[in-house]
Amino acid sequence: MLSLLFLVFAAVHIGIWVWAFGEWNRQQRPVGLSLVLFGNLLLWYDNFRIGIGRFVGEGDLMQALSVPAFVWHWTILPIFVIVAGSILRLADFEWARNKLVMGAFCVVAVVLFALDVPDAVSLLFGPVAGSPPVQLDPACLADTLRYTTRVTADTLCDAHSSVTSYGPGPFVAIFMNVIMTGVGILLWVKRGWKWLALGTGAMFIFAGAGGGWKYGLPLANFGEILFTLGVVSTLAHLGRRRMATVAARS
């Protein structure tokens, strides 16, 4: 049943992405939604490859299918820092329109990108120029099979499996989420829009609560859905409001 849950998560992410694409098209392709569409492009795939793991089985094919999910996660997440800056500008915070402020969001995104990209390079090409060793090992939970960088005692597939830990920690994801949640709280307090804070805050709570729990992965992945809904609904709302304002002035 857990495999089915991940497939449902994948379908929900596809639905959210299609909704975001529709808003992007209606709103004449704004930058914020463009970044979100690109950043969320493989969220469905990350859940899909876990959902089909039991059917594909352990081996080189399942391992290869898992690589894009990790490379995406380690290279694309910082883009949401720039999205956070775009949201502030759309919400008419004058100080956020300063080029130095937006430049600061971009610099933070680049720094976060630089922290995890060596691990993505190692996963794709092996250790290069001192980059850390990274490998994917099979992990099992209920009826799911996936390849991951961290295998815990609760997710060993058989008696011959061992606990392993490779790849970067969650710092980049946490830092990005804190920034987006901070922007959400600012919108709630100053603009009366609560859904960004609730969506991203739920992601923060669910990921943290599930960190030491056997079933923390599906909880965190559900949090990703709420995060995505919060970001997309906020950009859609602000974009529609901006278009209405422009139409009223013309």
- Give the pLDDT confidence score for residue 70 in this predicted structure: 96
Per residue in 16-54, pLDDT (tens digit) is 999 999 999 999 899 999 999 999 999 999 999 999 999
- Give the pLDDT confidence score for residue 160 in this predicted structure: 82
pLDDT classification of 245: cutoffs 50, 70, 90: confident
Beta carbons of 101 and 95 less than 8 angstroms apart: yes
pLDDT classification of 210: cutoffs 50, 70, 90: low
Q: Are strands 150-151 and 137-141 parallel, antiparallel or unpaired?
A: unpaired
CATH of the domain at 122: 1.20.1070
Domain holding 122, by residue range, is 2-249
Q: Please tell me the total count of domains within the chain.
A: 1
Question: Please, what is the average pLDDT of the chain?
Answer: 93
> In the chain, pLDDT over 70 holds for what percent of residues?
98
Calpha distance 71→69 (Å, rounded): 6
On the question of pLDDT at 4 being above 70, the answer is yes
Calpha distance 109→113 (Å, rounded): 6
pTM for the full predicted model: 0.94
Per residue in 50-105, pLDDT (tens digit) is 999 999 999 999 999 999 999 999 999 999 999 999 999 999 999 999 999 999 99
155 DSSP assignment = G
Per residue in 114-171, pLDDT (tens digit) is 999 999 999 999 887 777 889 999 999 999 999 999 998 889 998 788 898 898 889 9
Calpha distance 158→244 (Å, rounded): 59
**b or e along 191-224 (b: 16 or more beta carbons within 10 Å of the residue's beta carbon)?**
bebbbbbebbbbbbebbbebeeeeebbbbbbbbb
